[in-house]
Amino acid sequence: MDMDFSVISLLVLALVVAVGFIKKINIGFFSVGAAFLLGMAGNLSAKAIVSGFSSSMFVTLVGVTFLFGMASANGTLDLFSKKVVALVGKRTYLIPILMFVLSAFISAIGPGHIAAGILMTTFAVYLAFELKINPMATALYAKLGANAGCASPLSLTGILARNLSEPYGIDGFGLHLFLTTLLSGFVFTVVVYLLYKGYKVNGDNPLKLSDIPAFNREQKITMGAIAVMVIFCIGFKMDTGLFAFVAAAVLILLKCADEKQAIRQIPWGTLMLICGVGMLVSVITKLGGIKLVSDFLASFMTASTAVPIMAATSGILSWVSSTTGVVMPALYPIAHQITGTFGGSVSYVELISAITATSFAAAISPLSTGGAIIMSSYSAAKETTTYEMNKMFKTLFLLSVANVGINVIMAALHVFFLGSLFL
């Protein structure tokens, strides 16, 4: 492939990301247009260009988010969260741990880091003000948990990782990716717990089990449908997206939720972002851009430094772009190229685990979705001054830098290889 088009393709990607960041627009649609123009200029056929838009991934993500949109619309997720927190009773020192575990669980079973993050972070801030404990720390426990649990085989990130790796014939790493991302989130949660003295949390839990209503018929059926999906998809390797559509169809027939409200909760913008950027990256790969980047990185990498360098790269990219929409589609192909460059001495699964975990480590930055959710939840719960918002901005960014740094160290120590023990 002509070197000029390799360079041009990378410049187009940089331009698309820059425009999205500066103009605050969804680059998914922009990426589709850029992919078409770039591909035609590079003499690719329309079929080759369109093939980069993963219809199977789109269907899968729509199915999962639609099902959990129904669970959110009928109040199942919110009521479940309140009941779990109420079980803590007067043991409010357990709240930090509970926020992390509950958020990770909800994120892992399907909704993913965005939906679970919004739900649990908002809930955490509300609870913190009621308990008169640090709302920033409580929100962080929730968001870190949502990020930590999002790489499960049932969640958006896990599904995306599987689809991005399928062209290389690589599969079976779902548990590895989930465990290493979970470990990364847990490590920094401990750091936040110690930093904010979470062990000294003391307050009066306003949530009492006796005051919380029981699950109604619709919510019980919804929980049953989700449980069946988890069992069949994990235990029997059923297609997650298609099974989610089946479960959602049952809920609609039994009138368990308003499907129109559930449809409105599907993150269409996020789905288009993921698939659109994926289409652009596919074109860039065909034009040799990905190989050019991998060759450049490999020129100063060694087998021992490849993982931490890719981890650092993903963290830096995540500060200005989406993990699932940009970082993973852009860096997974590079990871595969690097694996080939070093003749298999560098593990592809270790590379993508470090990339994914570190990218989510950066995602608590106020420039990313996670940090933005924390700041918006805080300001919605309490009237906030410009000074407070600026202070929160700085704090979240510094914490994200620290989190990325810890993950790069973990990558250098090959912590992200430990999950291979479970393969």
- pLDDT tens track, the chain, 423 positions: 445 788 899 899 889 888 877 877 778 888 899 999 999 999 999 999 998 888 877 887 788 888 888 888 898 888 888 887 787 777 777 888 888 998 999 889 877 787 788 778 878 887 788 777 888 899 999 999 999 999 998 888 998 999 999 988 888 898 999 999 999 999 999 999 999 888 777 766 667 777 889 999 999 999 999 889 888 877 777 887 888 899 999 999 999 988 888 888 787 877 887 788 889 888 988 898 878 887 888 788 888 899 999 999 999 888 867 788 788 988 999 999 899 888 778 899 999 999 999 999 998 887 677 777 788 777 767 777 777 777 888 898 899 999 999 999 999 999 998 755 544
- Give the Å distances, CA to CA, from 271 to 26, 32, 60, 100, 114: 10, 13, 10, 26, 12
Cα–Cα distance for residue pair 113/184, rounded to 1 Å: 14
Token digits for 266?
A: 């599907």
Cα–Cα distance for residue pair 112/48, rounded to 1 Å: 30
- Give the Å distances, CA to CA, from 129 to 114, 124, 141: 22, 9, 15
Cα–Cα distance for residue pair 133/288, rounded to 1 Å: 53
- Give the Å distances, CA to CA, from 408 to 314, 355, 359, 361: 10, 10, 11, 10
- pLDDT at position 109, please? 84
Orientation angle between helical segments 55-73 and 268-286, nearest 10 degrees: 160
Cα–Cα distance for residue pair 163/351, rounded to 1 Å: 16
Q: 193 and 96 in contact (C-beta within 8 Å)?
A: yes
Q: What is the CA radius of gyration of the chain?
A: 21
- pLDDT at position 2, please? 47
Give the CA-trace dihedral at 423, 155, 161, 184, to 10 degrees. -70
Show Cβ contacts of residue 124 under 8 Å, excluding neighbours closer than 6 positions: 99, 103, 135, 138, 139, 141, 142, 377
Token digits for 221?
A: 């059926």
Q: 76 and 67 in contact (C-beta within 8 Å)?
A: no
Q: Residue 312: enclosing H or E segment and its boundaries?
A: helix 306-318
- pLDDT at position 92, please? 74
Q: In this structure, which amino acid lies at residue 172?
A: G
pTM above 0.85, yes or no: no
Instruction: Of 306, 335, 298, give the one whose Cα is nearest residue 414.
Output: 306
The long-range contacts involving 387-395, CB below 8 angstroms and separated by at least 24 positions, are 392/136, 392/366, 393/366, 395/136
Orientation angle between helical segments 369-381 and 135-149, nearest 10 degrees: 140
**Helices in 173-286 by DSSP H: which ranges?**
174-195, 217-230, 240-253, 259-264, 268-286
Token digits for 79?
A: 């009521």
Cα–Cα distance for residue pair 373/294, rounded to 1 Å: 33
Show Cβ contacts of residue 186 under 8 Å, excluding neighbours closer than 6 positions: 100, 148
- Give the Å distances, CA to CA, from 402 to 313, 315, 394, 397: 15, 11, 12, 9
- pLDDT at position 23, please? 78
